[in-house]
Structures are given as structure tokens and as C-alpha cells.
Amino acid sequence: MALIQVSCSHCSETWDVSKTKRGGHVNCPACGVLVPVKGTSDSKLFYGLLILGVPLTLIVLIVGGAVLFFLYWSFMRLINP
């Protein structure tokens, strides 16, 4: 597991936190002050994929359903003229 070194601005305590905490905040183990962790969080990627992924999935489902309905309708017209 990769670690990031964090320093408290209040008491100068230094400790390591998990890389998954980057972009967030952690409490200093010595004084309890909330300290920001440097780095970029993955939340932008998550919300970007969510915002783009949901509409694209709906479009694929709607178009796929329309194609299946058209094929079914065409087949039924062939066997029942």
C-alpha cells in the first residue's frame, strides 16, 4: 500500500497516511487538528464517469429496444400477412 507523508501545520507532527486519502482531510494524531492531504482525489473521475455513463447507457438501452421491437414487428408481419 502506498503512503503519503502529511505534516500538521499546528504542531509540526509528521505521519504517513494511505494514498487513498489524497485530496481529503485527516486528523493529526498528536493534536487532533484537521489537516488537508495534498494531491488530487478521484472524485472528479467518478462523477465524470457517472454523468457521462448513465445517459450513454440509457441511449444504448433505448436504441437496442427499438431495434429489437422493429425486428419482432417485421418478423410478425412476415408470418402473419
Segment 23-79, tens digit of pLDDT? 889 999 999 999 999 887 777 788 888 899 999 999 999 999 999 999 999 999 998
How far is 26 from 11, CA to CA, in rounded Å?
A: 14
Which grid cell is 8?
500538521
| Claim: this prediction has a pTM higher than 0.75 | no
Q: What is the pLDDT of residue 48?
A: 86
Calpha distance 24→28 (Å, rounded): 13
Residue extents of the structural domains in the chain:
3-36, 42-81
